[in-house]
Amino acid sequence: MALLDSQYMSLLDLAKLKDPNGGMADIVEILNQSNPVLEDIPFIEGNLDTGHRHTMRAGIPAPTYTKLYGSVQPTKSTTVQVTDTCAMLEAYSEVDYKLAQMNNNKMAWRLSQDVAHLEGFGQEVANGIFYNDEEVTPEKFTGLAPRYNERGTGLAANAENIIHGGGSGNDNRSIWLVGWGPRACFGIVPKGTVAGFQFRDLGEDTTKESDGSLRQVYRTHMMWNVGLALSDWRKVVRVANIDASLVAANSSLYTPGTGFANSAADLTDLLHQAISRLPQTSSNIAAGGERYCMYMGRDMLDGLRRQVSAKTIESSLTMENVGGTLITSFMGFPIKRVDALGTDEAVVPSN
């Protein structure tokens, strides 16, 4: 019974979903997260059955200084190919047939359960965009953090786009500045497949229990094929190693010329550094058509707003109403809260 209770809706669950009049109750989705990165990421069809392969310039040929009657050796550029893979996320939602018939509005009730699955997919993909690592979990796609995971000299070129926030413990946060576009960072789906979340109502079906008994259910099938591709590392910047506890405690304790108390990270300074790493900073829409956005967890966004107030330089932080949504911007770059980034991180090491 414990297994059935954990997987399938029960009479108790049904009772909790009804209002005093016996109708479908309005569910307050307190477990939902704010992950607008899912709204920003553009998707393209990959050129492989399992993902997408990029060709990137790795070397530029140099010209030769010549003199009269001198000769010149032919030169060429070099390229490398990188393959990004997709993951397959899948789920089934089942409710007992007789239990559904007992509800006054079985379709609304079933939809309320399916919506919870959709939120689960969204949270999983949003977390994966930043933290997934297929070297650790092969069935997943690789997110941004494993690509920007070492800082210092003599490393991969993208190490220069990792900014040290000063933290040293295990409660660190990262702020990301991401350029979205086919020549920057983008989502991918396998060649020949449908982009986005796929939802199929399979209707009534017969399921077989482990003891061989049969039972009628209503079943919904959900699937999402998704991956992340990065064609130009210069257009993504990670501000890593921000000690969350210091920012939370000292964001209002600022002394000109000294900084924030107890060496809390100066978030406005770090964001200025992040913007300077981009190949073009004159606009949040670059020449290649990329759209840039900054992403941070709730605690970092709260800390940033408090720090700006403490430093009285609000000219760099603005608030705009865009389509009914209040958007915070820094130097023209929109900032969005992503709850997936409220995760404790270990230090990104330096060599």
Answer whether residue 350 is part of any domain. no
Answer whether residue 67 is part of any domain. no
First to last CA, the chain: 53
Percent of the chain with pLDDT over 70: 81
Beta-sheet strands, E only, within the chain: 43-45, 51-59, 78-96, 162-164, 172-180, 185-189, 198-208, 214-230, 236-243, 254-255, 259-260, 291-296, 317-322, 325-330, 333-337
Helix axes 267-277, 298-311, angle to 10 degrees: 110
For residue range 25-61, what is the model confidence (pLDDT) as tens digits? 443 443 467 888 988 998 889 888 888 887 766 666 7
- How many Cα atoms within 13 Å fall on the side-chain side of residue 68? 0
The pLDDT confidence band at residue 287, using thresholds 50, 70 and 90, is very low
For residue range 140-194, what is the model confidence (pLDDT) as tens digits? 999 999 999 998 877 788 899 999 999 988 899 999 999 999 889 999 999 988 8
Answer whether residue 249 is part of any domain. yes
Answer whether residue 31 is part of any domain. no
Answer whether residue 65 is part of any domain. no
Beta bridge partners of 9: none
* pLDDT, position 175: 97
Answer whether residue 27 is part of any domain. no
For residue range 234-268, what is the model confidence (pLDDT) as tens digits? 999 999 999 999 998 888 888 887 888 888 999 99
Residue 283 has pLDDT above 70, yes or no: no
Tell me how many domains the chain contains.
1
Give me the domain span that covers residue 177.
2-21+40-57+82-341
